[in-house]
C-alpha cells in the first residue's frame, strides 16, 4: 500500500479533522459563501491554520431537496479551487466530495488524495478510478438521492440495512484490489431523525467492518429538529455528538467548525496517552 495518508490513518491514534468547504450556491450551512477562488482558498487556509487535517471540497449540494448539477459544472466549481490551494500549500490533504467518476478523475489528476462518495459507489467506474490513482475512498450509505431522500425514508431495521450495505461495498472494493477504504453510515442521508439516532446509538458496531469510520453530523437537521435549533446555533450539539462518535470508534470527524473538532482531537490525545 503506497497511500501515505491512509497509512497514517490506520496506524496513528490521532483523530483526523476533515474541514468542510462547499463551493456551491445552495448547501444548507455555508452555501454561497465560497463561490469564488479567493474566498474558498482563504477559508481553506483558515481551517488549516485552525488544525484541519483534511479539506473536503464539494461542488454539488447534497442537502435534502438539492438538484443535481452537470459534470462540467461540478468540475468548474471545484478544480480551480483545488489547484489554487495546492499551488500555495502543496502538502494539503484534499478530499473531493463527488459521486461522479469523471469529476473524481480530474480531481485526482489535480492532486486530491481522497474520494468521498456519498452515493456508495453508484457510479460503476468509480472503483476503477480509485484504483488507478491509488486513492483512498469514503463509502457512504444513502437511501435515494438528495432531491428526494428525505420525503419518506423507510427501513425495517436501519442499522442492519446500513451495515449490510456498507459490508457489501467494502467487499466489492476489496475484491477490486482497493484497501484504502473508509466508511460513513450517512447520518442525515435518507434517514428520519429516529433513524439517525439509532445509527449513532449503534455506531460502535461498525468497527466490526475493520475499516476506519467517518462521522458527519455537523449542524444537521437531526440536531435542529431534536432541539429546535437554527443552523447557526447547532455547534455545541454538534461537538457533543462528535465526541460520542469518537468514543464509539470514529477516526475522522467531518465538520464545519474545525476549531471545536481540533479541541476534541487534542483532548482525546491527552485522554488516550
Q: State yes or no: is 147 an active-site residue.
A: no
Asked if residue 261 lies in contact with residue 238, where contact means CB atoms within 8 angstroms, the answer is: no
Beta bridge partners of 55: 19, 94
Longest dimension (CA), the chain: 49
- 266 conformational bin, left if phi > 0, alpha if psi -120 to 50, beta if neither: alpha
Each as own residue / partner, the long-range contacts of residues 224-227 (CB below 8 Å, 24 or more positions apart, any chain) are 225/193, 226/193, 226/197
Q: Of these residues, 220, 234, 251, 259, which one is catalytic?
A: 220
Q: Of these residues, 219, 254, 259, 265, which one is catalytic?
A: 254
Asked if residue 213 lies in contact with residue 10, where contact means CB atoms within 8 angstroms, the answer is: no
Asked if residue 53 lies in contact with residue 87, where contact means CB atoms within 8 angstroms, the answer is: no
- 219 conformational bin, left if phi > 0, alpha if psi -120 to 50, beta if neither: left
Q: State yes or no: is 254 an active-site residue.
A: yes
Distance of alpha carbon 237 from alpha carbon 179, whole angstroms:
34
Can you tell me whether residue 178 is helix, strand or coil? Answer: coil
Report the Cα–Cα distance between both ends of the chain, in Å, rounded.
28
Query: Nearest Cα to 28, choosing from 218, 196, 259?
Result: 218
Residues recognised as catalytic: 220, 254
Amino acid at each position: 500500500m503506497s497511500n501515505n495518508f491512509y497509512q497514517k490513518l490506520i496506524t496513528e491514534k490521532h483523530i483526523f479533522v476533515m474541514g468542510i468547504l462547499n463551493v456551491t450556491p445552495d448547501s444548507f450551512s455555508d452555501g454561497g459563501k465560497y463561490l469564488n477562488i479567493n474566498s474558498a482558498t482563504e477559508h481553506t487556509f483558515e481551517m488549516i491554520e485552525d488544525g484541519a487535517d483534511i479539506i473536503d471540497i464539494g461542488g454539488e449540494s447534497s442537502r435534502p431537496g438539492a438538484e443535481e448539477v452537470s459534470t462540467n459544472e461540478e468540475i468548474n466549481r471545484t478544480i480551480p479551487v483545488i489547484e489554487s490551494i495546492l499551488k500555495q500549500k502543496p502538502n494539503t490533504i484534499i478530499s473531493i466530495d463527488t459521486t461522479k467518476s469523471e469529476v473524481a478523475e480530474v480531481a485526482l489528476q489535480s492532486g486530491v488524495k481522497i474520494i468521498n462518495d456519498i452515493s456508495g459507489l453508484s457510479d460503476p467506474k468509480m472503483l476503477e478510478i480509485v484504483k488507478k490513482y491509488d486513492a483512498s475512498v469514503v463509502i457512504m450509505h444513502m437511501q435515494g438521492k438528495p432531491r428526494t431522500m428525505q420525503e419518506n425514508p423507510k427501513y425495517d431495521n436501519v442499522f442492519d440495512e446500513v451495515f449490510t450495505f456498507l459490508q457489501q461495498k467494502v467487499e466489492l472494493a476489496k475484491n477490486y484490489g482497493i484497501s484504502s477504504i473508509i466508511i460513513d453510515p450517512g447520518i442525515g442521508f435518507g434517514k428520519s431523525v429516529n433513524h439517525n439516532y439509532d445509527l449513532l446509538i449503534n455506531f460502535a458496531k461498525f468497527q466490526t467492518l475493520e475499516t476506519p469510520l467517518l462521522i458527519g453530523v455537523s449542524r444537521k437537521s437531526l440536531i435542529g429538529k431534536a432541539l429546535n435549533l437554527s443552523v447557526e446555533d447547532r455547534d455545541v450539539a454538534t461537538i457533543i455528538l462528535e465526541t460520542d462518535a469518537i468514543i464509539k470508534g470514529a477516526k475522522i470527524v467531518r465538520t464545519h467548525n474545525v476549531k471545536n473538532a481540533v479541541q476534541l482531537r487534542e483532548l482525546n490525545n491527552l485522554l488516550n496517552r
